[in-house]
Chains A and B, each alone.
Chain A
């Protein structure tokens, strides 16, 4: 649709300025120029296509292919074709089904607590106050730490004996707890660590979104007599819509892929109570040598991301595209 109208061959002999894009075609024929364009296009795209094709598309294709086989991962390609058996096995696998539920509950937590909290903090930091830049710097800092380092640190903090969390709770009279060791509490502990690490990231996005809203709009609402809540509800919130939709999108995709943090913090335990699809996939693929089944799990992860992304783009974010781009221009 966006390819240029190819100049008709007849005109090509005496074309001096065939299109605004080709101002310098003077000395040579457009055919030669087009050929050179193609050479340039191909040469410039080739590295990206090779890299992307070989290391992104091919692995995903290979995962899809091996998900139809029973395979222990040795050798280059699987041979024992079993159709959809890996997928039907998943339907009966309590752990995989549990992974999905846990993913959903993490998404629920994020949407109901983490994102509103980040938004509130962003609006707070949008106020004129001393040390705002320092606060922003601090709040965002956990985001730059790797998940592994975060997880190791919190393993210590949440450990029952000498951990920080128990000591602090002890100060307010709550007796020793084993956050990461109880199936009932482990998800809350995990969620708190996730919030520690990621609220700053969402906050930064909201701040950027808020700063692209002209202050005049909000002042106008206030002059019209709207209270703080009304201004927020009817002016700020709708104008932050695109940013909020993006953060929701990122939260969901992140949760589907969640691995590092959980793997190091809990290993998915106790007894699978904090396991995610990523951890289950790793367990089967790299520890139990059931690569076919593990591939099927990764295909499900991929399909979940893809379906969600396409559906979300199609139905939720569609109207934002224009806004997002102007936003970006404004940010520059």
Chain B
């Protein structure tokens, strides 16, 4: 008894300390590379080679200010935002209509059509990139934002339809009946009642579509030859080639390119994580 009494406080102190130590080590593993980038951007190349891990001395903001002052960074940011928003609107709009039908209508061949859409989850971009390129060339969509937006939307349909259908199904049939008795058309019900109710699910799928568009590299890489259309990932990669000798400036560019994604993540964390877990558990 007495032994126990003496032990317990020790365990209670030791356990959280061990726990925190481990998590802090992991946290360092995650944060140090990012920190290296942030600090590296404040150094000169000279400092980087003589003092790669220490604090900058002196702090040189010019790498960051140069990038921020250059039009191309903002242009790429705008391109990324525009393409992400357009992709999201199209993906979610088109998928919501389809998911509505899959969830609330019964018709011959429904499951078959749904399965075909759902199997889109297994079609990676990388597989389709070559023929996609050839098709886009045929449609004259190379060097055109639509050449990235539409394929992204098409590839985003599968996951979006699956999640939205699941949600639409969970809305009780009585609500639809009441709406239709009130003289609502199917579209009216969809537009005025279902969509507003589905706001959380819509937020989730929107965030997912946004993130995957934001990070897409291969498609904009091959579709956009005009530097004026480049998105941030393509811009970062090209910038690395362009200023290959100027490590500090590349680090500054990389860090600045991270900021929007991290900011978005801190705002939309709940939707993002909710969406991923929902998406994955349905897989």
Q: Known interface pairs A317-B283, A331-B277. Does A59 touch B122 (Cβ–Cβ under 8 Å)?
A: no
From A80-88, A96-104, A243-251, give the one contacting chain B: A243-251
Which among B16, B122, B251 is the interface contact of A156 at CB below 8 angstroms? B251
Q: Is B10 positioned at the interface, with any CB of A under 8 Å from its CB?
A: no
* Residues of chain A within 8 A of B197, CB atoms compared: none
A144 and B262 form a contact (CB under 8 A)? yes
Q: Beyond A48-B95, A129-B19, A149-B258, is A324–B283 a contact (Cβ under 8 Å)?
A: yes
Choose, from B1-9, B57-65, B67-75, B109-117, the stretch at the interface. B109-117
A173–chain B nearest beta-carbon distance, Å: 15
CB neighbours of A331 from chain B (8 A): 274, 277-278, 281
Bound complex: CA of A1 vs CA of B112, how far in Å? 10
Q: How far is the CA of A72 from the CA of B37 in the complex (A)?
A: 41
- Whether A294 sits at the interface, judged by CB under 8 Å, is yes
Report whether over half of chain A's contact residues are helix, strand or loop; otherwise say mixed. Answer: helix
Asked if B20 is at the interface (CB within 8 A of a chain A CB), the reply is yes
Check: B30 CB closer than 8 A to any chain A CB: yes
Question: Which residues from chain B contact A161 at a C-beta distance below 8 Å?
Answer: 49
Pair A164/B126 contact, Cβ less than 8 Å: no
Judged by a CB distance under 8 angstroms, whether B203 is at the interface is no
Asked whether B110 lies within 8 Å of A146 as measured between CB atoms, the reply is: no
Main secondary structure, interface of B, reads helix
Q: Who on chain A is nearest to B253 by CB? A: A152
Tell whether A124 is near chain B: CB-to-CB under 8 Å: yes
Is A237 at the interface (CB under 8 A from chain B)?
Answer: no
* A140→B211 CA distance, assembly (Å): 14
Q: Does A285 contact B (CB under 8 A)?
A: yes
Complex partner residue of A137 from B34, B108, B113, B266, CB under 8 angstroms: B266
B193 on the A face (CB < 8 A): no
CA distance A3 to B106 in the complex (A): 5
B257 → chain A closest CB, angstroms: 6
CB-based contact A2/B128 at 8 Å = no
Q: How far is the CB of B70 from chain A (nearest CB, A)?
A: 17
Q: Are A167 and B53 in contact (CB under 8 A)?
A: yes
Are B181 and A23 in contact, with the CB atoms below 8 A? Answer: yes
* Among candidates A23, A205, A249, A332, residue contacting B177 with C-beta atoms closer than 8 Å: A23
Complex contact B237–A162 (CB within 8 A): no
> Can you list, as one digit per residue, whether each of B107-133 has a CB less than 8 Å from chain A (1) or not (0)?
111110100110010111111111110
Chain B CB within 8 A of A214 CB: no
B134 and A152 contact, CB distance less than 8 A: no
A45, A76, A327: the one contacting B138 at CB < 8 Å is: A76
A127 surroundings in chain B (CB, below 8 A): 19
A116, CB-defined interface residue at 8 Å: no
Inter-chain contact A148/B217, CB cutoff 8 Å: yes
Q: How far is the CA of A298 from the CA of B154 in the complex (A)?
A: 19
Q: For the complex, what is the distance from the CA of A215 to the CA of B150, rounded to whole Å?
A: 45
In the bound complex, what is the Cα–Cα distance between A168 and B154 (angstroms)?
A: 45
1/0 per residue, CB under 8 A from B, across A38-78: the answer is 10110011011101101111111111001000000100100
Quick check: which of A177-185, A217-225, A256-264 contacts chain B, the rest being far away? A256-264
Which single residue of chain B is at the shortest CB-CB distance from A125? B23
Q: Are A256 and B97 in contact, CB atoms less than 8 angstroms apart?
A: no
Interface residues on B, range: 35 or more
Looking at the complex, which one of B26, B217, B283 makes contact with A250 (CB distance below 8 Å)? B283
Cross-chain contact B218 with A259 (CB below 8 angstroms)? yes
For residue A146, which residues in chain B have a CB less than 8 angstroms away from its CB? 214-215, 217, 232-233, 261
Using Cβ atoms and an 8 Å threshold, which residues of chain B touch A242?
281
Which parts of A150-191 form the interface with B (CB within 8 Å)? 152-157, 159, 161-164, 167-168
Partner of B154, one of A44, A54, A130, A277: A54
Q: Which residue from A47, A76, A163, A208 sits with its C-beta under 8 Å from B134?
A: A76
A124-B23, A146-B233, A259-B126 are contacts. A51–B150 as well, Cβ < 8 Å? yes
Q: A130 CB to closest chain B CB, in angstroms?
A: 8
- Tell me how far the C-beta of A246 lies from the nearest C-beta in chain B, rounded to whole angstroms: 5
B117 adjacent to A302 (CB under 8 Å): no
Given contacts A38-B107, A141-B262, 20 further A-B contacts (CB under 8 A): A40-B105, A44-B100, A45-B98, A47-B93, A48-B95, A48-B157, A51-B150, A51-B157, A124-B23, A141-B265, A144-B211, A144-B272, A146-B215, A149-B258, A162-B49, A164-B32, A201-B276, A281-B126, A301-B124, A302-B124
User: What are 18 inter-chain pairs, A to B, with CB distance below 8 A?
Assistant: A2-B106, A4-B106, A20-B177, A24-B177, A49-B98, A55-B155, A56-B157, A73-B134, A124-B22, A144-B265, A153-B33, A156-B251, A161-B49, A247-B280, A253-B124, A259-B126, A277-B126, A286-B130
Residue positions of A touching B, CB distance < 8 A = 1-4, 20-21, 23-24, 37-38, 40-41, 44-45, 47-49, 51-52, 54-63, 66, 73, 76, 121, 124-125, 127, 129-130, 135, 137-142, 144-149, 152-157, 159, 161-164, 167-168, 196, 200-201, 204-205, 208-209, 242-243, 246-247, 249-250, 253, 256-257, 259-260, 264, 277-278, 281-282, 285-286, 291, 294-295, 298-299, 301-302, 305-306, 309, 317, 324-325, 327-329, 331-332
Query: What 5 pairs across the A-B complex have the smallest Cβ distances?
Result: A55-B154, A62-B131, A146-B215, A48-B98, A59-B131
